[in-house]
Amino acid sequence: RTIGDRIGEAKASGNLGNTLKILGQFDEAVVCCQRHLDISQEQGDKVGEARALYNIGNVYHAKGKHLSWNMAQDPGYPPQEVKETLQKASEYYERNLSLVKELGDRAAQGRAYGNLGNTQYLLGNFSEAIAFHKERLAIAKEFGDKAAERRAYSNLGNAHIFLGRFDVSAEYYKKTLQLSRQLKDQAVEAQACYSLGNTYTLLQDYERAIEYHLKHLVIAQELGDR
């Protein structure tokens, strides 16, 4: 501020916002991220503007998740305050998405699609969530980003469960399992086995359900995860 560096001030405000978000001070975080947005717009800094929109979305997303954990709600039935917060997150992610499309930034589009999928899932809009996660998946494949691909499969599996398409979920969870083994991530592998166990229980294929729950158990024991 002293040297009149507006772009520097914008970036510093954004960093402050992100830090306050991590500290759980969501309302203060929004103020700082909004300053990042205002200055970026004033300076015609499109990249900064996109980043600020994304960060504000993240703050509302984190606040919505924090509120829903405290209220112990199932996805799809958020209380009014949680719903409004997640809708705000969604709006900012949408604005970020249209701007990064304009900028031709595919990686940023991938992040926006993933977050839009997650907010729509928490809002109970499972079909919308699936559409966003499919876009996320396509971009992850484009970049050869296996971790993002794995997350997309997992999220697609979760959303299909709530639409009662258990067989489709099982296929997505199998892909999650396959990738978690490629990535040598045992905790995620255990999670995928757990999801498959539950899905096969819903499909009333109890033999297979037992098989996957046993795999989950073995990994949990190996990791010493009580």
- 63-85 pLDDT, tens digit each: 999 998 877 666 667 889 999 99
Instruction: Supply the pLDDT for residue 77.
Output: 75
**Hey, do 1-144 and 146-225 end up sharing a CATH topology, with the first three levels equal?**
yes
Instruction: Supply the pLDDT for residue 148.
Output: 97
Judged by DSSP in three states, 138 sits in: helix
Q: For residue range 164-218, list pLDDT tens digits in order.
A: 999 999 999 999 999 999 999 999 999 999 999 999 999 999 999 999 999 999 9
Output the pTM of the full model.
Answer: 0.92
Q: Is the confidence at residue 55, as pLDDT, over 90?
A: yes
Instruction: Supply the pLDDT for residue 69.
Output: 82
Give me the residue spans of the domains in the chain: 1-144, 146-225
Instruction: Supply the pLDDT for residue 213.
Output: 98
CA quadruple 204, 209, 210, 213: dihedral sign = negative
Q: Is the confidence at residue 20, as pLDDT, over 80?
A: yes
Q: HSE (CB half, 13 Å, CA atoms) of 209? A: 11
Q: Does domain 1-144 have CATH number 1.25.40.10?
A: yes
Architecture of domain 146-225: Alpha Horseshoe (1.25)
Mean pLDDT for the chain? 96
- What contacts 24+ positions apart, CB below 8 Å, involve 192-200? 192/154, 193/219, 195/154, 195/157, 195/158, 195/169, 196/170, 199/157, 199/161, 199/166, 199/169, 199/170, 199/173, 200/170
AA identity, residue 208: R
Q: What number of other Cβ atoms are within 10 A of residue 176's Cβ?
A: 27
